Structure 1
Amino acid sequence: MSYELTKTMQAASAGYGLYCLAKPSHLASALREPRNQRALDRLARTFAVRDIPIAALALAGPPAALPWAVGGRVASDVGDALVLGASTKGSIRTKVLAVTLGWAALNALAYAADTRRR
C-alpha cells in the first residue's frame, strides 16, 4: 500500500516547514502582528523543526511509523489551533482556525481514505 494521499499531505507539510525556514516573517504578516515579528519568526522556525521531521518520518520511515507521523501531524495542528486561536481575535482567529483545523482534518481524512483502500 502506497498511502498516496497521506504522503502527498506530508510532502506539503514538509514544504511548509521549508517555507517557514526560508520566510519566517510570513506568520506575523498573516496574523497582522508586525509588533510581534521577532517572536512570530521564532514560532515559524519552531513549526519548521517540528513539521519537517514528522513529514520525513512519514515519507521515508518504516511503514509502521506512518500512523504515528500522521497522529503527530494532526495533534500538532490541533495544538496550533488551540494556542493561536486563543491568542487571536475576529477574522484572524477565523483564518487561524480554518487553516490549522482544516489541515488536521485533511491529514486525517487522507490517512483514513488510504487505509480504507487497503
Structure 2
Amino acid sequence: MSNLELPVLEPEAVPCCAPLSSAELSVGDSVTMAAMFKALGDPVRLRLFSKVASAEGGEACVCDIQDVGVSQPTVSHHLKKLREAGLLTSERRGTWVYYRVAPSVVAGMAALLDLDR
C-alpha cells in the first residue's frame, strides 16, 4: 500500500475524463479515477456502494446497510474510504448518517470505460 495522498473529489464533481478510446488520460485524471476504482476494488466497499446505489429513494441510512459481514467500526471505515474517493456523499441526521451516490459518478465512470465512442 502506498502512503500517497489521493485527491478527494467534491460531492458535486463530475469525473472529467473522456473515454479511454478517445484520448490518453492526464496524470490528474488517472489519479482521480484510480482512487475511485481502488475504493470499489474491495468486496465490502463494493457491497456497501451497491446497497446505497440501489436503496429506495436514492439514499440509505447506515443503520440499513451495515449488514455486510464485518463489524460496525469496519463498516464506518469502508464508508469513509468511499466518501474520500468521491463516490458517496453523506449527511448526518440526528444520530444516523445517510449516504447517497455522488452525483454523476456512476455515469462518469461508465463513460470513461465506454470504448465505443
What TM-score do you get using the length of structure 1 for normalisation? 0.31
Higher strand share: 2
TM-score (norm 2): 0.32
Relative contact order, higher structure (CA 8 A, sep 6+): 2
